[in-house]
């Protein structure tokens, strides 16, 4: 699309055509002269769009935009390799997508190459880990999770029954090393407050807690953490958390099969014991089924690991029985981030201005860890300056959500663990304390 064409999402109307899988964004049907059709195409690497995380959130945003007439056509594809990512992005560009969206950190290099080869197209990276070195036609939405990670550590220390918790991040995760450090600090703060002793598996380490962002790596990490005694698991990432959820689901299935086998053995014993013994056992079984006996499904659930989920409210989005083990969730507001960079993107709620950052991360603040993304601070906030990117009118090139600007939320969901009822209030109190400390520091 020539740069002389000023296209604002939502400014045109047309026939809605939803297409998924490998279908192209642009339609082959000839349009009357003067009609400009808009299209949004999304590729998720590596977690896909059924990830109970940012992939699902982006797909929902694109569908909502189509339903509200903001875009005319859509397309989406899940990929698992860099080559597949590049192929999908190249096809989207060739098909004339107005906006091509990459979800997750799995294809930053491919995005850079395709965007450079197609300077007349706009690209959006959601959760890419970093936007360093990206061409000018790449917009970014990411989330500063450092304070959220601290609260996750605080929550984990509150929820543990064994006194051991574990956290991991994935390669490419934005501020990954800092998230690990913040989590450790939150655990220590809660342990000191409660005069308790809580251990973080591999506390202080970075490399061993930074996983390949794959489902198998998540499964292996969860198994290892459980072997070390951890009963609270906190995975950050895209695909690796899916492996942690799968591990908990497998444990739940094994527990259910064991219960069923035990019930069969009890039935056989009842039959062999005679009518009188059977009657007595039947009464005992009835008591268990009525909930009077503490042994049962809920008690078995308490033997499963507890999960703090990143990407959505896992207590609602993850499949059962995994969702029952979610005690807290860190929720990035993907829609708010997209509204911060895209003029005319639909949505209600928080104002997006607070998410706008300078085009280069850390432009006015100290750099982050060596080789990692630069630091983002309040000093980095910029006023939105509408401009054209790839012919598309945008509010800003870059947005970063956090707890303070409404781009991230931390919610508690006690699940089956009644012993930690009140976790939400405790998290709110701890965040208030942190804010007061920051205010005092600012006044000095």
Report the pLDDT value the prediction gives residue 130, as an integer from 0 to 100.
Answer: 66
User: Is the same domain home to 168 and 97?
Assistant: no
Q: What is the pLDDT of residues 300-355, one digit of tens each?
A: 356 899 999 999 999 999 998 999 999 999 999 999 999 999 998 999 887 888 89
CATH at 370: 3.40.50.2300
Contact 3, 120 (CB under 8 A): yes
Averaged pLDDT for residues 392-417: 85
Report the pLDDT value the prediction gives residue 424, as an integer from 0 to 100.
Answer: 74
Q: What is the pLDDT of residues 240-293, one digit of tens each?
A: 999 999 999 999 888 777 655 544 444 455 555 555 544 545 444 444 343 333
CA distance 108 to 155: 32
State the average pLDDT for the chain: 79
User: Is the same domain home to 392 and 427?
Assistant: no
Report the pLDDT value the prediction gives residue 302, as an integer from 0 to 100.
Answer: 66
User: Is the same domain home to 126 and 227?
Assistant: no
User: Is the same domain home to 166 and 212?
Assistant: yes
Q: Is residue 11 part of a domain?
A: no
User: Is the same domain home to 180 and 307?
Assistant: yes
User: Is the same domain home to 181 and 321?
Assistant: yes
Report the pLDDT value the prediction gives residue 14, as an integer from 0 to 100.
Answer: 27
Taking the whole predicted model, whether its pTM rises above 0.95 is answered as no
Report the pLDDT value the prediction gives residue 259, as an integer from 0 to 100.
Answer: 58
Q: How far is CA 266 from the centre of its chain?
A: 44
- In terms of residue numbers, what domain contains 384? 17-143+333-401
For residue 140, the cross-strand partners are 125, 398
DSSP 43-92: EE-SS-S-SSSHHHHHHHHHHHHHHTTS-SEEEEEE--SHHHHHHHHHHH
User: Is the same domain home to 49 and 84?
Assistant: yes
Could you give the C-alpha distances from 317 to 209, 271, 301, 309, 348, in angstroms and in order?
A: 25, 43, 18, 10, 21
Helices (H), 274-345: 275-289, 297-301, 314-317, 334-341
Report the pLDDT value the prediction gives residue 416, as an integer from 0 to 100.
Answer: 42
Beta-carbon count within 10 A of 348 CB? 7
Q: How far is CA 406 from the centre of its chain?
A: 15
Report the pLDDT value the prediction gives residue 360, as an integer from 0 to 100.
Answer: 61
Contacts with 264 (C-beta within 8 Å, 6 or more apart), sequence order: none
User: Is the same domain home to 231 and 111?
Assistant: no
Q: Is residue 408 part of a domain?
A: no
Contact 294, 374 (CB under 8 A): no
Contact 243, 217 (CB under 8 A): yes
Report the pLDDT value the prediction gives residue 362, as an integer from 0 to 100.
Answer: 46
Report the pLDDT value the prediction gives residue 268, as an integer from 0 to 100.
Answer: 52
Q: What is the pLDDT of residues 50-61, one digit of tens each?
A: 899 999 999 999
Contact 9, 66 (CB under 8 A): no
């Amino acid at each position: 699309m020539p740069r002389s064409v000023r296209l604002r999402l939502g400014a045109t109307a047309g026939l809605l055509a939803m297409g998924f899988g490998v279908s192209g964004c642009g339609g082959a049907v000839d349009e009357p002269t003067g009609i400009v059709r808009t299209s949004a195409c999304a590729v998720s690497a590596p977690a896909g769009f059924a990830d109970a995380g940012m992939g699902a959130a982006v797909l929902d945003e694109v569908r909502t935009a189509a339903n509200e007439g903001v875009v005319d056509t859509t397309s989406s594809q899940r990929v698992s390799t860099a080559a597949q990512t590049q192929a999908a992005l190249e096809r989207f560009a060739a098909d004339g997508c107005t906006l091509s969206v990459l979800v997750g950190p799995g294809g930053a290099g491919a995005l850079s190459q395709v965007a450079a080869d197609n300077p007349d197209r706009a690209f959006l990276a959601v959760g890419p880990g970093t936007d360093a070195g990206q061409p000018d036609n790449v917009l970014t939405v990411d989330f500063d999770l450092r304070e959220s990670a601290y609260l996750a550590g605080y929550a984990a220390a509150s929820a543990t029954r064994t006194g051991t918790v574990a956290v991991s991040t994935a390669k490419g995760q934005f501020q990954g090393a800092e998230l690990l450090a913040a989590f450790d600090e939150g655990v220590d703060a809660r342990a000191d407050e409660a005069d308790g002793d809580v251990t973080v598996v591999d506390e202080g380490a970075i490399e061993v807690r930074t996983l390949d962002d794959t489902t198998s790596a998540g499964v292996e990490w969860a198994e290892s953490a459980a072997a070390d005694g951890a009963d609270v698991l906190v995975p950050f990432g895209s695909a690796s958390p899916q492996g942690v959820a799968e591990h908990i689901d497998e444990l739940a299935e094994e527990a259910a099969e064991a219960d069923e086998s035990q019930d069969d053995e009890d039935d056989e014993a009842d039959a062999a014991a005679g009518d009188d013994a059977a009657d007595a056992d039947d009464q005992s079984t009835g008591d268990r089924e009525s909930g009077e006996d503490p042994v049962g499904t809920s008690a078995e659930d308490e033997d499963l690991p507890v999960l703090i989920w990143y990407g959505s409210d896992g207590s609602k989005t993850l499949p059962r029985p995994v969702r029952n083990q979610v005690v807290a969730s860190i929720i990035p507001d993907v829609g708010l981030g997209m509204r911060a960079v895209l003029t005319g993107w639909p949505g209600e709620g928080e104002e997006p201005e607070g998410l706008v950052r300078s085009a280069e991360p850390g432009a006015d603040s100290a750099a982050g860890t060596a080789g990692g993304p630069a630091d983002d601070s309040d000093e980095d906030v910029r006023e939105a300056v509408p401009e054209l990117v790839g012919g598309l009118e945008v509010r800003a090139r870059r947005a970063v959500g956090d707890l303070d600007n409404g781009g991230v939320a931390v919610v508690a969901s006690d699940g089956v663990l009644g012993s930690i009822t009140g976790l939400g209030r405790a998290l709110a109190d701890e965040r208030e304390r942190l804010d007061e400390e920051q205010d005092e520091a600012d006044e000095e």
